[in-house]
Amino acid sequence: MKRTLVFLCLLCAFSAVWSQRKEIVLTDGWEFCRGEKKDNWQPVSLPHDWAIAGPFDKKWDLQRVAIVQNGETEATEKSGRSGALPWIGEGHYRRSFLIDNGKWKIDNLRAELLFDGAMAEPTVRINGENVGYWPYGYNAFRVEIPQNLITAKPHNLLLEVDLKNVEESSRWYPGAGIYRPVTLILTPRTHLDDWSIYFHTIGERNGKAVVEVTGKAVDADESIIANLSLTSADGKVVAKSESLSLAQDGSFHASFQIVDPQWWSPESPYLYTLTASIANTDGRVIDTKSIRTGIRTVRVSREHGFQLNGKTRKMKGVCLHHDLGPLGAAINKAALIRQIKIMKEMGCDAIRTAHNMPSQWQMEICDSLGMMVMAESFDMWIYPKCKNGYARFFREWSERDIRNLVLANRNHPSIIMWSIGNEIPEQWSEEGRQIAIRLQGICHSLDPSRPVTQGMDRADAALGSGFAQAMEVPGFNYRVHKYQQNYDRLPQGFLLGSETASTVSSRGVYQFPVVVEAADNAKSTLRKQHYNGQCSSYDVQYCSWSNLPDDDWRWQDDKDWVIGEFVWTGFDYLGEPSPYDEYWPSRSSYLGICDLAGLPKDRYYLYRSHWNKEEHTIHLLPHWTWPERKGQVTPVYCYTDYPTAELFVNGKSQGRISKGDGRLDRYRLRWNDVKYEPGELKVIVYDENGQPAGEKIVRTAGKPAKLKLDVWTQHLSPLLKADGEDLAFVTVSLTDKNGTLIPDADDQLTFEVSGAGCFEAVCNGDATSLESFKQPTMKLFNGQLVVVVRSKKEAGTLTLRVKDARRKLSQTVTLQTK
């Protein structure tokens, strides 16, 4: 009785009379509970991550393992490996919905649920009947609702999703729950199969783009015809094909030549709309599907390396894990847009979705903002990298998983490459080579328009077994010193830095003396002196299997046959706290160019100085507030695209220097002997002609005096959409009265949100913080943190008040939502 009442409360109806297909994102009206007992249901909205609120605790998924990929031979305790958040166990979701057949007869109705990913092992039930299951939590999958359930009366159905996360199944924080959207798709039984529609560019002929479209109608007889049209962004039909007859299996096909095409690229992400429809002979449209897509070609070759639209370019890429820091795995459009914009501003033009399938929202954003994508699939095949990982499913599910990856994503122009794996242990074996050939073949059979790669970490083994030679794009992770010998042995004539750098740093932390070293090496300076859960932001520490950005760039810049790189990683992510994976309370990575809150570390400006060719960069480090270092050597680095610069401390020149050939001197300017004295640090940069081109000043901070709030939103005006989903990211900095950051401040702040929004999360980027992201209080980490606020569905004014009780400071910001 109680259950029935709950379901009635949840009942949601789609009442409008409709004749076309309906695609309804099932966001609200869900209930969720944890555990096997299935009690204590709570109302939730999707996307949802049940574990992100914490509490952090080393007992969650405490792993005692030897990480073989990192060269370890003895098992040790790895406390924060998968984020130290409570993601293990069962989770259950339920929601009822009404099947509205609109104009269609109920027995002519087809209903499908499209899951973009659910962590993990989702079992889907309708009215108690099992209708779907998909073990891999990262993949999109479709569930058809059986006809007998659609026609049964009453037409309100109960949808239940059971999830199960097992320990030692992940090398990082996977998240937990239905963390990506679920869409209900209603069509007549004669309908277009969504994933059959495939648009791709064949090439360029006499200035025209040659494109091909295929698709398939289901349950269609020979009287049905298909129509296709391609519309430009300003609404003009640029290609059209009508009355296409269907082949026996319902498929149809057309090719077009587009005059004056707008080619998609990161610099000009132009999108067209493809509309496919099927109709009766009397012209009555039965089903229509529109897709935003783009015209562009991708090629790899010995002669020209990687080419987009016939032009050779090197991928300036970053790897991204799927979590969104304090939001966890639950995806959000504003947060995804912010990530991509931060990366683009750095000059990055590509991401690798490490090590799994991307979300549809993320791919739509990459399409429209202009970001190339290597869409990845697996972190392991048959041999497990962690005890209960995907290896449990690989033999039975890998083909279906690769198929869904390609079918769900192949119309996104941003995707320029598929990846079938990352550091797969079976690189050395014939069996591995056979699997690589099989998976690559599946990608090609569903999408001949894109090359296939994977990231290999055992170059000698992979070359010895023929595994590397079998790949269309041989991707190598790290070990740049092997690039030349790899290239010499490869028939392809080029290689990709599928994973590079793994340099480690913590925002605002500087360790002295400055030593270039592998930070996880037991004998290292870091281990001996600074084993405190932080890494130095001088950007000189890396993992023993990896290197510094400077080392990668030599190969990228000097060798035509190195076709690009994907830096590990663009942002810090939850879990994998190398080099502190045995140190509690470290629970998130140090590998990001930006921290977990999305704030740039110094390294951001190093990449920007080399990658961003549109704008100049002049960045100085470290900060200049070191009361305990008076008279002590405090090296100063400048990250700039200019070749020469002169540094001054309180007006005294520290020398004019130019970029040189040393390991750290080709891309950075360094003054290693500067003695600290409080005051002003100033750099003047000079261009190639020796002319002064700009300057940058960093000052010693005075007393803490004010809180500075900087707001980021995806819209300019009004700032937020009143849709209950839009987010504002507010960076809070404690400064002196002149606005100089207090670089070591760790004040406890509190946050109050009132009006048309609510508090969503907070993050300070400290990988050792155990404060919950979901409580409206947190300490500053090195003077800064980021508060995230969410709009409500009612338009109005949202106010965020930030308070620092210790210093009796407070600051507010007001945002309009509409």
Of 31, 426, 499, 576, which residue is the catalytic one? 499
Residue 517 burial by CB count (10 A; 0-12/13-18/19+): exposed, middle or buried? middle
Residue placing its CB nearer to ligand GAL in the complex, 26 or 329: 329
Q: Smallest distance, Å, CB 608 to ligand GAL?
A: 22
203: left (phi over 0), alpha (psi -120 to 50) or beta: left
How far apart, in whole angstroms, are the C-alpha atoms of residue 589 and residue 502? 10
Q: Smallest distance, Å, CB 484 to ligand GAL?
A: 21
Residue placing its CB nearer to ligand GAL in the complex, 95 or 355: 355
Residue placing its CB nearer to ligand GAL in the complex, 230 or 543: 543
Residue placing its CB nearer to ligand GAL in the complex, 186 or 606: 606
Q: Smallest distance, Å, CB 457 to ligand GAL?
A: 6
Task: Please provide the size of the chain in residues.
Answer: 818
Give the count of beta carbons closer than 10 Å to the beta carbon of residue 557.
12
| 551 Cβ neighbours under 8 A, 6+ residues apart | 480, 663
Judge contact between 105 and 20, C-beta under 8 A.
Answer: no
Is 634 one of the binding residues for ligand GAL (CB under 6 A)? no
Task: Of 657, 697, 701, 702, give the one whose Cα is nearest residue 681.
Answer: 697
499 a catalytic residue: yes
How far apart, in whole angstroms, are the C-alpha atoms of residue 93 and residue 123? 11
Footprint of ligand GAL on residues 574-593 (CB under 6 A)?
576, 578, 591
Is 520 one of the binding residues for ligand GAL (CB under 6 A)? no
Footprint of ligand GAL on residues 268-327 (CB under 6 A)?
none
Peptide bond into 154 cis (omega under 30): yes
Q: Smallest distance, Å, CB 23 to ligand GAL?
A: 35
376 a catalytic residue: no
Residue placing its CB nearer to ligand GAL in the complex, 386 or 785: 386
Is 550 one of the binding residues for ligand GAL (CB under 6 A)? no
Residue in 568, 605, 624, 626 binding ligand GAL, rule: CB under 6 A: 568
Name the percent of the chain in helix, strand, coil, to the closest 5.
15, 35, 45
How far apart, in whole angstroms, are the C-alpha atoms of residue 714 and residue 319? 23
Site string for ligand GAL, 42-81 (x = CB under 6 A): ---------------------------x------------
Task: Of 213, 400, 238, 391, give the one whose Cα is nearest residue 289.
Answer: 213
Q: Smallest distance, Å, CB 502 to ligand GAL?
A: 4
Q: Smallest distance, Å, CB 592 to ligand GAL?
A: 11
Residue in 543, 606, 618, 621 binding ligand GAL, rule: CB under 6 A: 543
Q: DSSP string covering 632-670, please?
A: SB--EEEEESSSEEEEEETTEEEEEEE--SSTTTSS-EE
Q: Smallest distance, Å, CB 478 to ligand GAL?
A: 7
| 804 Cβ neighbours under 8 A, 6+ residues apart | 707, 734, 747, 748, 749, 810
Residue placing its CB nearer to ligand GAL in the complex, 71 or 448: 71
Cα Rg, the chain, nearest whole Å: 27
Q: DSSP string covering 65-127, please?
A: E--GGGT--S-EEETTTT-SSS--EEEEEEEEEE---TTS-GGGEEEEEEES--BS--EEEET
Is 506 one of the binding residues for ligand GAL (CB under 6 A)? no
Strand partners, 646: 656, 684
Q: How far is CA 40 from CA 52, 330, 406, 775, in A?
A: 19, 22, 39, 22
Helices (H), 601-750: 602-611
H/E segment holding residue 185: strand 182-188
Sheet of 89-98, strands arranged across:
42-44, 30-34, 89-98, 156-165, 123-126, 129-133
Is 422 one of the binding residues for ligand GAL (CB under 6 A)? yes
Is 499 one of the binding residues for ligand GAL (CB under 6 A)? yes
Residue placing its CB nearer to ligand GAL in the complex, 181 or 455: 455
How far apart, in whole angstroms, are the C-alpha atoms of residue 356 and residue 136? 10
Is 502 one of the binding residues for ligand GAL (CB under 6 A)? yes
Residue placing its CB nearer to ligand GAL in the complex, 542 or 605: 542
Is 423 one of the binding residues for ligand GAL (CB under 6 A)? yes
Is 477 one of the binding residues for ligand GAL (CB under 6 A)? yes
Q: Smallest distance, Å, CB 542 to ligand GAL?
A: 9
What the block records as the tokens of 152 is 């049964």
Residue in 63, 332, 546, 735 binding ligand GAL, rule: CB under 6 A: 546
Q: Smallest distance, Å, CB 578 to ligand GAL?
A: 6
Of 168, 423, 760, 771, which residue is the catalytic one? 423
| 3 Cβ neighbours under 8 A, 6+ residues apart | none
Q: Smallest distance, Å, CB 606 to ligand GAL?
A: 18
Footprint of ligand GAL on residues 355-394 (CB under 6 A)?
355
Site string for ligand GAL, 586-625 (x = CB under 6 A): -----x----------------------------------
Strands (E), 206-341: 208-218, 225-231, 237-245, 251-258, 272-279, 285-293, 298-301, 305-308, 311-312, 315-320
Is 521 one of the binding residues for ligand GAL (CB under 6 A)? no
Q: Which residue is nearest to ligand GAL (CB)?
A: 502
Residue placing its CB nearer to ligand GAL in the complex, 578 or 791: 578
Collapse the DSSP code of 297 into the 3-class scheme (helix H, G, I; strand E, B; otherwise coil) and give the result: coil
84: left (phi over 0), alpha (psi -120 to 50) or beta: left
Is 349 one of the binding residues for ligand GAL (CB under 6 A)? no
Q: DSSP string covering 27-54, please?
A: -SSEEEEESTT--S-EEE-SS--TTTT-
Footprint of ligand GAL on residues 187-216 (CB under 6 A)?
none
Is 547 one of the binding residues for ligand GAL (CB under 6 A)? no
Give the count of beta carbons closer than 10 Å to the beta carbon of residue 247.
12
Residue placing its CB nearer to ligand GAL in the complex, 170 or 769: 170
How far apart, in whole angstroms, are the C-alpha atoms of residue 176 and residue 296? 36
Q: What are phi and psi of 405, to 5 degrees?
A: -55, -50
Residue placing its CB nearer to ligand GAL in the complex, 422 or 713: 422
Task: Of 785, 617, 625, give the one whose Cα is nearest residue 695.
Answer: 617
How many chain residues bind ligand GAL (CB under 6 A)? 14
Judge contact between 443 and 402, C-beta under 8 A.
Answer: yes
Q: Smallest distance, Å, CB 814 to ligand GAL?
A: 42
Residue placing its CB nearer to ligand GAL in the complex, 578 or 817: 578
Q: Smallest distance, Å, CB 471 to ligand GAL?
A: 16
Is 457 one of the binding residues for ligand GAL (CB under 6 A)? yes
Q: Smallest distance, Å, CB 124 to ligand GAL?
A: 30
Task: Of 360, 227, 247, give the one whose Cα is nearest residue 288.
Answer: 227
Q: Active-site positions?
A: 423, 499
Interacting residues with ligand GAL (CB under 6 A): 69, 355, 422-423, 457, 477, 499, 502, 543, 546, 568, 576, 578, 591
